[in-house]
A = this chain, B = another copy of it.
């Protein structure tokens, strides 16, 4: 089977214009079919502040009111997604910017309120791998932002790590899939204070250990869960690495395995 790269960028890779431009250049040079998924970084919070819209957070997760959803659309689907697409085009990479509503690619459902009502937040129900494959075969490079829809007209804010994991899984019947989570660090750290303490391999046993020891950051745990979900759904390789990993696969990083 042909290889495909699904890369997810977030954090500083999105925030810092130079880092982003450099990553997009490297990503453009990757041969063969590829897909990019991007988070939003702090742009949404900054715009919300400017507009006087309150951003409520519970356990590090944004509560998405109707006003917040508009801000997510403005920043993720509007400014960020389109600037990434234009930059990729500059690098001769035929990018196509997408939310899950476009082409009905990612169907989700509004998360049912239990202890917390997260607002317009979507949990993915289905990814249409066939339409993505059709685009890839036209040499198109899909670029997804963190927005899906419920097929009844409602757009939904959706975790970009989960989108990357589900898209990678949806590609697995057609390709040998590598999923890269790229960010500013070199990988998952044993000691958050020591940037060189990269854990090179994490399997499910190690994952449980890390959870029990409470050593890794709160934001990293759901990311690891997304990694294992992808591996369980036949994604071939999953790595958490610095953005430079896209151009140099030999740099130290974290590899996930079941």
Chain A: residues with CB nearer than 8 A to chain B?
47, 50-51, 70, 73-79, 81-83, 85-87, 89-90, 94-97, 99, 101-104, 131, 134, 138, 140, 147, 149, 151-155
Instruction: Count copies of this chain in the complex.
Output: 2
Chain B residues with CB below 8 A from A50, complex form: 51
Apart from A73-B82, A97-B99, A131-B138, 18 more pairs, CB < 8 Å: A73-B78, A73-B83, A74-B78, A75-B78, A76-B78, A77-B78, A77-B81, A78-B79, A82-B147, A82-B155, A85-B101, A86-B154, A86-B155, A90-B152, A90-B153, A94-B103, A95-B103, A96-B102
A95→B97 CA distance, assembly (Å):
13
Chain B residues with CB below 8 A from A81, complex form: 77
Closest beta carbon of chain B to A147's beta carbon, Å: 7
A99→B89 CA distance, assembly (Å):
12
22 intermolecular pairs with C-beta atoms under 8 Å apart: A50-B51, A70-B79, A73-B74, A73-B83, A74-B75, A74-B78, A74-B79, A82-B102, A85-B99, A85-B101, A86-B154, A89-B149, A89-B153, A90-B152, A90-B153, A94-B103, A94-B104, A95-B102, A95-B103, A96-B102, A97-B102, A103-B140
A78→B77 CA distance, assembly (Å):
5
> Given A101-B97, A102-B97, A149–B86 Cβ distance below 8 Å?
yes
Verify A89–B151 contact, CB threshold 8 A: yes
Chain B residues with CB below 8 A from A104, complex form: 89, 94
Chain B residues with CB below 8 A from A78, complex form: 73-79
A131→B96 CA distance, assembly (Å):
12
